[in-house]
Amino acid sequence: MYRAEVEIVDVNDHAPRFPRQQLDLEIGEAAPPGQRFPLEKAQDADVGSNSIGSYRLSSNEHFALDVKKRSDGSLVPELLLEKPLDREKQSDYRLVLTAVDGGNPPRSGTAELRVSVLDVNDNAPAFQQSSYRISVLESAPAGMVLIQLNASDPDLGPSGNVTFSFSGHTPDRVRNLFSLHPTTGKLTLQGPLDFESENYYEFDVRARDGGSPAMEQHCSLRVDLLDVNDNAPHITVTSELGTLPESAEPGTVVALISVQDPDSGSNGDVSLRIPDHLPFALKSAFRNQFSLVTAGPLDREAKSSYDIMVTASDAGNPPLSTHRTIFLNISDVNDNPPSFFQRSHEVFVPENNRPGDLLCSLAASDPDSGLNALISYSLLEPRNRDVSASSFISLNPQTGAVHATRSFDYEQTQTLQFEVQARDRGNPPLSSTVTVRLFVLDLNDNAPAVLRPRARPGSLCPQALPPSVGAGHLVTKVTAVDLDSGYNAWVSYQLLEAPDPSLFAVSRYAGEQAPPNTDWRFSQAQRPGTSGSQNGDETGTWPNNQFDTEMLQAMILASASEAADGSSTLGGGAGTMGLSARYGPQFTLQHVPDYRQNVYIPGSNATLTNAAGKRDGKAPAGGNGNKKKSGKKEKK
């Protein structure tokens, strides 16, 4: 900020002018040489050297012109009597008074001075002083007597009676402000004073006797005004911004402020202040010139506008103050990314849902405003994912609502993970992401399928037995799988329509089929099998013997070959529901149930273990076949 002062240079475009074109003056013929008579001074609107610089009087033998210079620099012409007058010889004189300014070229103005010679009055009134100077507070009340003037006249009778009056050229503003008592000479204040408008008044007072002709004397009187603190400071605000971005650096100019106080001295010394708790400060550039600047960071989200009260106080006693409020709005910048309520979401969806169902709502919030707070949503998918989330779900880009585009099948998809990005429309835009883990909940929508013994649908599966078999003999192994999970895949067995329930029995559950774990949130390697089986121990996966593994592999291969001619034991035709299609690729060895579900001849509890031992190539350990293997695996 720079301060410039422009000075208007005066040119001499005004000529001096007298208030009246004819000036009348009465002088007694007994007036002694050397007596002075004040004349009305001319006025010139120009200033400096272009104002009135001199007076001159037309030549004559009785009068000369004397010019006095007052304290304010103005010139007052006075008529000087140089030679005694004789009314009988000449009772009237006509002179020309000329006022000349100091311009180049000079300008002038004239007035006719008519001097009338009066008959003898020997003594003129005399003031005690030729000039008086008094001081008065500008707050002085009307009616206050400022001074009492005295003038003496030694003449007797009317010639010694003195009256007081303002001189003929006293301006009207003085006559309206002061009154002069004609007999007592008391000068009384009759109007309000204002130091700031005019700090002094200077005028002439005339004392005149009642003689014939009357004689008079003049004195000058100056009234100085003393300042009181009657003006509060005035505040002017320029270059007010009104709106400031929240990214404005400290020191940014908000407004320029100037203060004025027309009082003088300490009454006119002004200080400026603002509240302490605001992020703004005042800096002084020149005298009574200030700039309001930012003094700290701004945050529109914390406070979007400020009412800054500026207080100006002077140093008077008591001091006077003025308040001015500057209103400032903080505009938004995109400094806040959209934020989700949590960094990750878990969504649980039962399988066989309807397409179009609302899965979750991922609305984010942004404390910015306008386009900086306008959020759009998009789906982000990792490149290394085998399953595309966009094939299962749709995302509303305006609301962040996630809908299913098709029905989920737990047996095909158990989990789905994707990210949603919320992005605002600022410049530059800001964004954030949320991770969504979608878990498909299993429903019991798959019936168990028998893998062994194999038979075409609707046909019997004959089993041959030697005629000499005894109780506990293993007749066949029935193996079924269920594609569901947890308890929905836990298979139990029972005989239906047996001709004689005492001849055959079936074990209801498997010796190694553990109850399903209800906590289904496992990784694919840890998820329970389709028949409810789990890993048998930490060192290997079930099946836990070579025979069962080879049997499962053989049955999978056989089922796959049968699928080609529609003869798969699981049905479906053309391989669409065959084992290789129905159970793959997710159908791995860990999903295969234990084969030791036995249909046997009741009557012995040792046959099951003996049969298993023979199948594994191991001899039974004893007559009852119940000897347990040592170690953690067999205990389980």
Q: What is the pLDDT confidence band of residue 475, given thresholds at 50, 70 and 90?
A: confident
Domains of the chain in start order, with CATH, are 22-118 (2.60.40.60), 126-226 (2.60.40.60), 234-331 (2.60.40.60), 344-441 (2.60.40.60), 446-636 (no CATH)
Q: Side chain identity at 409, as an amino acid letter? A: D
Residue 262, preceding bond cis, omega within 30 degrees?
Answer: no
Weakest-pLDDT range from 137-146, 428-437, 561-570 = 561-570
Average pLDDT for 532-541: 36
**20: which residues sit within 8 A by CB, 6+ positions away?**
40, 111
Q: What is the model's pLDDT at position 308?
A: 94
Q: What is the pLDDT confidence band of residue 560, given thresholds at 50, 70 and 90?
A: very low
Average pLDDT for 87-93: 87
pLDDT at 256 over 80: yes
Weakest-pLDDT range from 262-271, 401-410, 444-453 = 444-453
Average pLDDT for 256-268: 91
The closest of 318, 132, 267 to 207, measured between CA atoms, is 132
Q: In angstroms, rounded to a whole number, what is the distance separating the alpha carbons of residues 584 and 576?
A: 11
| Each residue's pLDDT tens digit, 616-628 | 444 333 333 333 3
Weakest-pLDDT range from 4-18, 126-140, 557-571 = 557-571
Q: How many residues does the chain have?
A: 636
Q: What is the model's pLDDT at position 602?
A: 64
Average pLDDT for 92-97: 94
pLDDT at 2 over 70: yes
Q: How many C-beta atoms lie closer than 10 Å to residue 622's C-beta?
A: 10
pLDDT at 357 over 50: yes
Q: How many C-beta atoms lie closer than 10 Å to residue 366's C-beta?
A: 22
The angle at the Cα of 118, spanning 174 to 205, to the nearest 5 degrees, equals: 20
Q: What is the model's pLDDT at position 58?
A: 94
Q: What is the pLDDT confidence band of residue 471, given thresholds at 50, 70 and 90?
A: confident
pLDDT at 594 over 70: no
Q: In angstroms, rounded to a whole number, what is the distance separating the alpha carbons of residues 154 and 356?
A: 126
| Each residue's pLDDT tens digit, 418-458 | 999 999 999 999 999 999 999 999 999 888 888 888 777 77
Average pLDDT of the chain to the nearest whole number: 80
Q: What is the model's pLDDT at position 468?
A: 84
Q: What is the model's pLDDT at position 508?
A: 81
Instruction: Report the SS3 class of residue 568.
Output: coil
Average pLDDT for 459-472: 83
The H or E element containing residue 289 is: strand 289-294
- Taken in order 108, 114, 120, 121, is the CA torsion positive or negative? negative
pLDDT at 588 over 70: no
Q: What is the model's pLDDT at position 233?
A: 93
Q: In angstroms, rounded to a whole number, what is the distance separating the alpha carbons of residues 571 and 96?
A: 144
**500: which residues sit within 8 A by CB, 6+ positions away?**
none
Average pLDDT for 108-112: 94
The angle at the Cα of 592, spanning 588 to 597, to the nearest 5 degrees, equals: 170
Q: What is the pLDDT confidence band of residue 392, given thresholds at 50, 70 and 90?
A: very high
Q: What is the model's pLDDT at position 571?
A: 35
Q: What is the pLDDT confidence band of residue 574, given thresholds at 50, 70 and 90?
A: very low
Q: In angstroms, rounded to a whole number, what is the distance separating the alpha carbons of residues 46 and 14?
A: 6
The closest of 435, 353, 333 to 389, measured between CA atoms, is 435
Average pLDDT for 359-366: 92
Residue 318, preceding bond cis, omega within 30 degrees?
Answer: yes
Average pLDDT for 521-548: 39
The H or E element containing residue 97 is: strand 92-101
The closest of 477, 507, 480 to 495, measured between CA atoms, is 507
**Residue that wins the pLDDT comparison between 220 and 629:** 220
Average pLDDT for 317-334: 93
Q: What is the model's pLDDT at position 490?
A: 86
pLDDT at 282 over 90: yes
| Each residue's pLDDT tens digit, 48-85 | 889 999 999 999 999 999 998 888 788 889 999 999 98
Q: Phi/psi class of residue 56: alpha, beta or left (left: φ > 0; alpha: ψ in -120 to 50)? A: beta
pLDDT at 293 over 60: yes
Q: In angstroms, rounded to a whole number, what is the distance separating the alpha carbons of residues 215 and 209?
A: 6
End-to-end CA distance of the chain: 90
Q: In angstroms, rounded to a whole number, what is the distance separating the alpha carbons of residues 12 and 15?
A: 8
Q: What is the model's pLDDT at position 87?
A: 82
Average pLDDT for 492-515: 75
